[in-house]
Structure 1
Amino acid sequence: MHTWEWHTWNDLPYLTCSLLQDWSHGFFTQQFWSRPPALLTQILQPSARSYRVRQVHGNRVLVPSEVGMDHGEDARPAEDHPAADGLITERAAQAVWVCSADCTPALIGDVATGQVAAVHAGWRGTAMKIVPAAIARLQSQGSQLQNLRVALGPAIAGEVYQVSEQVAAQVGSTIVATDEIAVNETLERLRQVPDSPLLDDPEPGRVRLDVRRVNALQLEQLGMKPEQIAIAPFCTYQNPDRFFSYRRSRQKKAQWSGIVSK
């Protein structure tokens, strides 16, 4: 059983997962708002260089050498960072970061190579299989599936995440065979999945969707075992004291999640 533990830095809380105990990492809370990744990296591993991207809800995954020169001081405006939603390290002491405010932050580590990844998986990125895309890029660098560990951090929980039936079908079609079948049939197949990510909603044409569960199922269908995957027991929407939630407040604020390669 994987455990999630709270830590504090200057009385500010952040979260770690035992599945990633081999790496310096953290899922940071709203209390760290306005601190850029370079400063947060100092908390995790002062000798590491930090890297981030401009997130666009896609499935593009980069490595630091594609991001460009080190931007440890976060000197560039956010819009000047390359567009992507995932980062994979190439060598030791590289810290990769993503930010989220209801979307899923996924931190990935390879116990054999020491390399890591950080991925931002909203429903659009999940529909485009961004976490499997990150896994594929890790594999291209020598990773083996059995050596990977994936922690899916705080995000909006399925029981409160209302979406249209069309969105649920688009996301769900990544884990059930569809062959261009109708939305209703896709949803019915989703309901039959064990521990289904699809939940009912009282509003017509709407359902509730557990995006983190879909990501976990995508990974299991790649061949990963459930014990290689951990899902944080925290919902950004239902924990206003710890997390920003765009669905709750409509504010464009986010919390950062990062991990450092070995």
Structure 2
Amino acid sequence: MCVSKCPSRLVEVNHASSLAGLPHGFLGRTGGVSTGDVAGLNVGLGSGDDPTLIARNRALAADAVLPGAKLTTVYQVHSGDCVVAGDWSDAERPHADALVTDRPGVLLGILTADCAPVLFADREAGVVGAAHAGWKGAIGGVTDATIAAMERLGARRDQIVAAVGPCIAQASYEVDEGFRDRFVADHIANAEFFEAGRAGHHQFDLEAYVVARLRAAGIAWAQGIGLDTYALEDRFYSYRRATHRAEPAYGRQISLVALG
């Protein structure tokens, strides 16, 4: 993983070695024009922020990865659904949690604030994808749906590489017994992604779980970049941190990938 800066606004762009050579980046809150509780590069259309500032931040984010590209996002609902990127407006975004494309110049974007953003590519086939993997989407198979959608566009899973970007880390992600039981009921091996915490609670490793699902799907390479959105307050937005502090709003960061 490496970090670069967009000189005009010092937008932080975190890169993954598995996606080297492709326009991509896991962005945080650094840079941007929003103020207050969502200060920085807030791109969340549903965050309650000034729409003018959000639009400016989205443009800054896109320009930091692929200047002039069309940014395409979806209306995320914590599902396992993936769609092929279309020419819809922001107001017409389909309800889904992943999108794919084989069209150069289309910049796919996924918004997060603790959930795991996952970027995919099959360089040889010329297909990329992006997925929002919160715990519901992750156990619901959103990464598997993305791989399948890429295959329908001509990708081969043994050529697909993927990276899991900044998300809440195990040390910051306390869950109850019911949460753990749901994952273990899905597959007994999922117990390995939980460590014992205070009485009746566990610490869940979302990044490791998502990486394991990607590897189990048989793709060529899957990696996590190991950045904790909850702990790195100056760099990333976090829904759970904002909730713990009873803050009235929280921002969203964006992760982007495209064919050059």
Q: TM-score, normalised by structure 2?
A: 0.83
CA distance in 1, matches of 2:159, 2:185: 27
- Unpaired segments ≥5 residues, structure 1: 177-185
2:3 corresponds to? 6
1:21 corresponds to? 20
Shift of 1:114: 2.2
CA distance in 1, matches of 2:225, 2:181: 24
Distance 1:170 1:208, change over 3 A: same
1:142 corresponds to? 154
Structure 2 residue 64 is matched with structure 1 residue 52: no
Secondary structure of 1:243's aligned partner: coil
1:190 corresponds to? 190
For residue 213 of structure 1, the aligned residue among 201, 208, 212 is 208
Work out whether residues 199 and 208 of structure 1, in 8 Å CA contact, stay in contact via their aligned partners in 2. Answer: yes
CA distance in 2, matches of 1:124, 1:97: 19
CA distance in 2, matches of 1:22, 1:207: 38
Q: 2:215 is aligned with what amino acid?
A: E
Structure 2 residue 125 is matched with structure 1 residue 125: no
Shift of 1:115: 1.4
CA distance in 2, matches of 1:190, 1:101: 23
Shift of 1:219: 1.7
Q: CA RMSD in A?
A: 1.8
Q: Which runs of 4+ in 1 moved over 4 A?
A: none
Shift of 1:12: 2.8
- Unpaired segments ≥5 residues, structure 2: 31-40, 43-53, 244-248
For residue 230 of structure 2, the aligned residue among 229, 237, 261 is 237
1:258 corresponds to? 256
Deviations 1:190-218 (A, max 9, x none): 34xxxx311111131x2111112111111
CA distance in 2, matches of 1:127, 1:170: 9
CA distance in 1, matches of 2:58, 2:179: 31
Shift of 1:86: 0.5
Deviations 1:105-152 (A, max 9, x none): 001111212211111000010110101110011112221112111010
Work out whether residues 127 and 153 of structure 2, in 8 Å CA contact, stay in contact via their aligned partners in 1. Answer: no
Tell me the percent identity.
Answer: 26
CA distance in 2, matches of 1:170, 1:81: 31
Deviations 1:9-49 (A, max 9, x none): 13232211121112111111112223444442222222422
Distance 1:120 1:29, change over 3 A: same
Shift of 1:243: 0.6
Shift of 1:172: 4.4
Secondary structure of 2:175's aligned partner: strand
